[in-house]
């Protein structure tokens, strides 16, 4: 199959107008039931066909006419989702081949990852002589928030679906995928696409990067990968996508034990971790060491403009945290900005004597929204400042919802990148949610914000170097 045809089929896979779910049932404990329910819950408006081998004439499953097989549907199908035991999958896949189905997602596990390479080889053989593309097996499949497609067998009452946004996330692991999906929703930023590809017998990392590079609805990519099967093609795909948009990569199998675990998990060859790191550095892929780094980097990339340099202003209403933030900047290879003489004069006119206008700028514990807004206005126009770290301690007397509103108003201007550091309990969390839901990246500690700034700057420097 040529690349043009594969691309067309991938587009159909991600936004199908007709879907058959094999294994659909009214039994709420079954995977097929959950997938069908998810399609209903997200409001999918295409044609839907539940398939169950035990269906009888006139049966309905969750309100939809039931079919005994793919063949009995008698219509062109854009997507077939297979959620039945592994042993039954080859015969269903053969039906898909005969019916000229365009794309298939196999969520079932029980193949090479548990030693059943013979069973997986049957799927490979059928797929190679078919006109469809296949995602999986042993995967969660896909989610497209705008097209209202959701093949995940994770109930919506257990994992909230994120709002519509610009971040797309691909994961070789379904467990990592579901966890990060939950974290994305909790962090308050939006999702465009989710792709879980499992054992990757057909669609792999190269296909996914190629698709996301072409997808105008994707502005930031998160990727969890255990190993690439096509090394040279992966490098070319990475080079192409990072020229257009940032890619945050978390690589499983950093240690020998981890690489062994990866093979037993998705039958993946994890390969040399050092070799992957070298590729990531060379082609502008942002490497995340932890799942928290993934979240920290993604919300910075999605919401903030690029800084011109590495000089970061620190504005705080708590002096001690400002000192910690200064250390965090230098440990991340960044610099503490210094206000110009003009900025210092302007600040001295509007700030009370208690305020230290030198960096880090300590506005004192009684700082209110007016003080925060004035400091931001001066910092945003100062040529010596490339980005701003604001430490907002909502435990202090002057900090309340008006401070959060001031930070939201500044972030909306996108003059210079901003990160807010706001550690604390329930009162603080309410204001964190308020800011993050409005596109302000908020962090629990200065070191998280500093690493996120570093990631943003390094990707910007890479983009500049290839232009």
In a domain, 146, yes or no: no
Give yes or no: residues 225 and 171 share one domain.
Answer: yes
pLDDT-derived band at 255, boundaries 50, 70, 90: low
pLDDT digits (tens, 9 = 90+) for 297-310: 999 999 999 999 99
**Contact, 254 vs 290, CB < 8 A?**
no
Let me know if 152 is exposed, middle or buried by CB neighbors in 10 A (0-12, 13-18, 19+): buried
Alpha-carbon distance of 187 to 436, in angstroms, equals 7
Give yes or no: residues 321 and 447 share one domain.
Answer: yes
**pTM metric for this prediction:** 0.91
Question: Cα separations (Å) of 15 from 19, 20, 36, 86, 211?
Answer: 10, 14, 16, 26, 12
pLDDT digits (tens, 9 = 90+) for 69-89: 999 999 999 999 999 999 999
Alpha-carbon distance of 6 to 102, in angstroms, equals 10
Give yes or no: residues 266 and 319 share one domain.
Answer: no
Helices and strands of the chain, counted as H and E runs: 16, 20
* Residue where one domain finishes, among candidates 303, 323, 356: 303
Q: Which regions of 255-408 does DSSP assign to beta strands (E)?
A: 286-287, 311-316, 335-336, 361-362, 387-391
Residue tagged 């097929």 (tokens): 32
Residue 260 has pLDDT above 80, yes or no: no
Instruction: Determine the pLDDT at residue 262.
Output: 44
pLDDT digits (tens, 9 = 90+) for 17-47: 999 999 999 999 999 999 999 999 999 999 9
* Residue where one domain finishes, among candidates 285, 303, 321: 303
Per the structure, the complete domain to which residue 106 belongs is given by: 1-139
pLDDT digits (tens, 9 = 90+) for 188-225: 889 999 999 999 999 999 999 999 999 999 999 999 99
Residue 156 has pLDDT above 80, yes or no: no
Residue 8 has pLDDT above 80, yes or no: yes
Instruction: Determine the pLDDT at residue 376.
Output: 97
Instruction: Determine the pLDDT at residue 252.
Output: 84
Total of domains in the chain = 3
pLDDT-derived band at 154, boundaries 50, 70, 90: confident
Residue 254 has pLDDT above 70, yes or no: no
- Residue 304 CB coordination number (10 Å): 21
Instruction: Determine the pLDDT at residue 253.
Output: 66
CA R_g for the chain: 25
pLDDT-derived band at 270, boundaries 50, 70, 90: very low
Instruction: Determine the pLDDT at residue 389.
Output: 98
What's the mean pLDDT when you consider all of the chain? 93
What percentage of the chain has pLDDT greater than the value 70? 96
* Residue where one domain finishes, among candidates 303, 332, 367: 303
Candidates 277, 276, 335; CA nearest to 457 is 335
Residue 267 has pLDDT above 80, yes or no: no
Q: What does the pLDDT average to over 288-302?
A: 95
CATH number of the CATH domain containing 196: 3.40.50.261
Instruction: Determine the pLDDT at residue 257.
Output: 47
């Amino acid at each position: 199959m040529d690349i043009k045809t594969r691309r067309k089929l991938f587009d159909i896979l991600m936004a199908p107008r007709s879907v058959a779910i094999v294994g659909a049932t009214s039994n709420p404990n079954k995977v097929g039931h959950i997938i069908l329910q998810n399609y209903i819950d997200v409001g999918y408006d295409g044609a839907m066909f539940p398939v169950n081998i035990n269906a009888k004439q006139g049966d309905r499953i969750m309100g939809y006419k039931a079919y005994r097989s793919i063949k009995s549907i008698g219509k062109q199908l854009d997507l077939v989702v297979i959620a039945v035991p592994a042993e039954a999958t080859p015969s269903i896949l053969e039906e898909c081949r005969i019916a000229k189905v365009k794309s298939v997602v196999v969520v079932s596990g029980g193949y090479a990852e548990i030693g059943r390479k013979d069973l997986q080889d049957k799927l490979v053989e059928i797929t190679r002589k078919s006109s469809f593309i296949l995602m999986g097996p042993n995967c969660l499949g896909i989610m497209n928030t705008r097209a209202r497609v959701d093949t995940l067998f994770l109930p919506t009452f257990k994992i909230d679906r994120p709002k519509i946004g610009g971040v797309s996330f691909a994961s070789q692991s379904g467990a990592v995928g579901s966890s990060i999906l939950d974290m994305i929703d909790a962090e308050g930023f939006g999702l465009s696409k989710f792709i879980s590809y499992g054992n990757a017998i057909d669609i792999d990392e190269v296909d996914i990067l190629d698709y996301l590079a072409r997808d105008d609805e994707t502005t930031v990519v998160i990727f969890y990968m255990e190993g690439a099967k096509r090394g040279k093609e992966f490098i070319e795909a990475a080079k192409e996508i990072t020229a257009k948009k940032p890619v945050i990569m978390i690589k499983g199998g950093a240690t020998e034990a981890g690489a062994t675990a990866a093979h037993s998990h998705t039958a993946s060859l994890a390969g040399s971790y050092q070799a992957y790191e070298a590729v990531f550095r060379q082609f502008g892929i942002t490497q995340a060491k932890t799942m928290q780094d993934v979240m920290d980097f993604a919300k910075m990339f999605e919401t903030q403009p690029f800084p011109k340099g590495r000089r970061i202003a620190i504005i705080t209403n708590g002096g001690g945290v400002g000192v910690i933030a200064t250390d965090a900047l230098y440990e991340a290879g960044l610099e503490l900005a210094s206000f110009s003489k003009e900025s210092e004069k302007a600040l001295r006119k509007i700030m009370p004597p208690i305020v230290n206008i030198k960096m880090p700028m300590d506005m004192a514990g009684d700082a209110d929204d007016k003080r925060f807004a004035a400091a931001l206005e001066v910092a945003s126009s100062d040529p010596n400042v490339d980005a701003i770290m604001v430490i907002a301690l909502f435990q202090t007397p002057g900090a309340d919802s008006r401070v959060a509103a001031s930070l939201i108003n500044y972030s909306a201007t996108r003059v210079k990148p901003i990160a807010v550091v706001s550690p604390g309990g329930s009162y603080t969390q309410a204001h964190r949610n308020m800011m993050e839901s409005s596109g302000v990246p908020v962090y629990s500690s200065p070191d998280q914000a500093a690493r996120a700034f570093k990631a943003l700057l390094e990707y910007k420097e890479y983009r500049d170097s290839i232009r």
